Amino acid sequence: MMNSILLTPEKNRFQLFKRDGISIVRIDRLVSENEMSFTHFPALSLAVFDDANLVLWSEELHTYVQADTPKEASIGRDFSVWDSLTIGINTRQEPLDFCIRLYYINNPSD
């Protein structure tokens, strides 16, 4: 089942926990819900952290954008949840007013 969460400058991270029965999370895509196009803001990146706050993966969102959908970044990556997993938006300290919906699947079956 596809889940989503809205990420903003005030709430730019969220956590998933193994204790909730989540062993794998698939990050499907991110969609800008305001007028911001990911191609115009190369400072925006998505990062995934483990329970020790070590970076498991971090990529700039503009590299996952198709030319015909500049407000959508298709990721399609799976991550294991050992104890907890944190997913968040990083702006490299640039003051950006973003409103991004992250779509993800807990325990994908394929």
CATH number at residue 15: 2.60.120.340
- The number of distinct structural domains making up the chain is 1
Minimal CA–CA distance to 21: which of 61, 92, 81? Answer: 81
Task: Give the pLDDT band of residue 57 (cuts 50, 70, 90).
Answer: very high
Confidence of residue 94 (pLDDT cuts 50, 70, 90): confident
CA distances to 1, 13, 77, 86 from 25, rounded to whole Å, are 11, 15, 8, 11
18: containing domain: 2-106
pLDDT at 43: 83
- Mean of all residue pLDDT scores within the chain: 94
Q: Is 26 helix (H, G, I), strand (E, B) or coil?
A: strand
| CA dist., res. 30 & res. 26, Å (int) | 12
* Residue type (1 letter), 58: S
- Residue 76, number of CB atoms within 10 A of its CB: 9
For strands 55-60 and 24-32, give the pairing: unpaired
Checking if the pLDDT of 110 tops 70, the result is no
Going by pLDDT thresholds of 50, 70 and 90, the confidence category of residue 6 is very high
Amino acid identity, position 59? E
Q: Residues 58-69: what's their mean pLDDT? A: 93
